[in-house]
Structure formats: structure tokens, C-alpha cells
Amino acid sequence: MKYSPKILFVHNALTEFVRIDLQELRKDYDVTERFEKSRLVNTRTLWREVKNHDLVFGWFASWHTFLPLQFAKMLGKPSILVIGGYDVANIPEINYGHQRGGLKKLISRGTIRTATRLVTNSKYSREEIKHNLGFTNGAVRTVYHGVPDRFGDLPRGTREHTALTVGNVDRSNLFRKGHEPFVRAAALLPDVNFVLAGAWKDDAIDHLRRLATANVTFTGRLTDEELSEYYRKASAYVQASTHEGFGMSVAEAMLAGCVPVTTKAGALPEVTGDCGLCIAAADPNEIARGIKHALSYTDASRQSIRNRILEQFPLANRRTQLQELIQQVINDARGHV
């Protein structure tokens, strides 16, 4: 029987892209999930888990990956760390990013330096890592996310006059994800339904409700099936972000035939290419202009948008590249050529 390497998969939030990696790695390896919900860690148990696995695979450089990667290094085990979000960002104007300073910066940098190999999810993130941490491009491998297709053939005919954006509703996302300007834009297009889909995490929902006109819907947390229905019906998907390491929700919406209306922030241009409309700023007037543009798209144009994601970000590509990288670091650790 062929031996399947044992992987300890460490994360602190089962977001869609983390869940996809976990699911895909389990198709090829014996994977143990370690979901770190607290900074209080049973170090004896963690040491034993790292010792009993061939490789540690971590998502983001922060408190939850610091000890697992330190223990892996002490035990001579290889590690792969995926970075490229809050861990490498430095955006003081929205109070975002571990690289702004303090203990978070020290922990994230210590974790990154400990990893055997580093992976990031876009060319933008690779350049951000180079700029903020000083790592050259050769030290970080870019492996784009794979986007699973849950939609199949697009429905033909007129779509609803709906503009959709997705993300947790919290204070940090009011401007980082553009939720506030999105809600304000609704007043400029009273005949369009504006939908903000995402769990309500703090009092930001109260703030947005005070701003919202009658054509705004706040869904709260949705199941995958419910969210897919919104993707299928919406004409436009808006991502008015100030920082994006990739933009998984944009890619999912494009697969469903939504016209993307996005800023130039982060990796969003890498995802959208020449599809949809790239707005100059996360401004209500710009957002409204983009949505009006999206309402005019034909079925053929929406199919072209879907095809871009199918061709550029297939799930098989990420799976294959991660397989190659895992095998390489395991072989290197065992002294194989």
C-alpha cells in the first residue's frame, strides 16, 4: 500500500478558501485539522501532533501558526505557510494589517521566517510581501486559488436588477470591504435591489441600517445554497475594497455570471482582468455608475465573464501545484534528491 504523508493543517477561521484547501488536500493525504480558536494552547498536545505528522500546513502568519511552525522546525519537520492577507498588510488609514507594528508584527514575521516554504495567492500579495517584509519574489511561490464551479450552465434571460456584495458585517469591513459606500450607493439607484450578504459580527449592522434606503437588504449569515442563489440572480457583484489578497467572492460571483464592479485594490485586477468595470474609488457615485453599466450586459457577455474564471483559476491547478510543493519539501526533509 502506498504511504500517504500525514499533514497537520492549522488555521484560525474556516473561510471558503481555507475550507477548499482542506477539502482538496484530504483527497491526497492523511490530514488532521487543527482549528485554533484561542491563543491558549495545550503545548504538550500540540508538540505531540506536530511530532506525529510529516508536514505542517498553515494558513496565515499569526498567533495560531507561530508555535506549530516553531515546533516543526525543532522536530526537523517541514512546513508550508500560506500568507497574503492581514498578516502581511500595512494599511494604517483603515487600521489593518499585522505589519503596522507591535507584537503582531513580531509574531507574524517570526512565523514567516520559520516556515520551510511560503505560498501566496496572487502577484499583488507577492509584491506586498516584498515591500512590507523585504522578502524577494524568489522566496515566495504564487499559487492562485482554485475556484470550484457550483453553478454549471448559466440561466438565460433577464436577470434581476440586483447588486450584491458579500462579507462579514463588522466595523473593519465598513471601508476595507466597501460596505458603507455600497449601502450609500443604493440611494442613487432606487430601482435596483442592493443586497449585503454576510454574518452580523458587531454593531456595524446598526450603523448600516441607519444609512440604508428601502432598497437595501441585509441577509445575515447564509448557507452555501442560499448564497449561490443570490449569485445566480444578481446582475452585478460589487467589491469596493481597499485591500484584497485575491477576491474569492468576486471570482465566485463571476462564475455565476455576475458582472464585477470593483476597485483596483490589491489583486482584484488579476481576478477580473478586462471583465466588468473597474471604478476609480470606493465612492457611492462610482459604485452606482458601475452597477448601471452592469445592468446592460447580455447573456453572451456574462458567459465570457464565467469563462475567465473557469480558464484562469481551475481548482485542479492549485491542487496540482500544492501536491508538487508538498512532495518537494517532504523529499528535501528526508534527504532525497
Residues 85 and 131 in one domain: yes
Residues 304 and 186 in one domain: yes
Q: What are phi and psi of 169, to 5 degrees?
A: -90, 100
The pLDDT value recorded for residue 2 is 60
CB neighbour list of residue 296: distance below 8 Å, 6 or more residues apart = none
Compute the half-sphere exposure of residue 248: CA atoms within 13 Å on the CB side of its CA.
Answer: 17
- 1 falls in which pLDDT band (50, 70, 90)? very low
The pLDDT value recorded for residue 137 is 63
Residues 293 and 319 in one domain: no
Does residue 70 form part of some domain? yes
Does residue 152 form part of some domain? no
Residues 89 and 207 in one domain: no
Residues 259 and 271 in one domain: yes
Q: Are the C-beta atoms of residues 150 and 182 closer than 8 Å to each other?
A: no
Residues 140 and 258 in one domain: no
Q: What is the pLDDT of residues 24-79, one digit of tens each?
A: 999 999 999 999 988 889 999 999 999 999 999 999 999 999 999 999 999 999 99
Round the average pLDDT of the chain to a whole number and report it. Answer: 94
Q: How far apart are CA 50 and CA 55, in angstroms?
A: 8
Residues 172 and 140 in one domain: no
Residues 31 and 85 in one domain: yes
Does residue 81 form part of some domain? yes
Q: How far apart are CA 3 and CA 216, in angstroms?
A: 54
- 337 falls in which pLDDT band (50, 70, 90)? very low
Domain count, the chain: 2
Residues 177 and 294 in one domain: yes
Does residue 107 form part of some domain? yes
Residues 111 and 216 in one domain: no
Does residue 157 form part of some domain? no
The CATH number of the domain where 58 resides is what? Answer: 3.40.50.2000
The pLDDT value recorded for residue 192 is 98
DSSP summary character for residue 158? P
Boundaries of domain holding 24: 6-146+314-333
Which residue is associated with the grid cell 493525504? 29
Check whether 157 has a pLDDT greater than 80. no
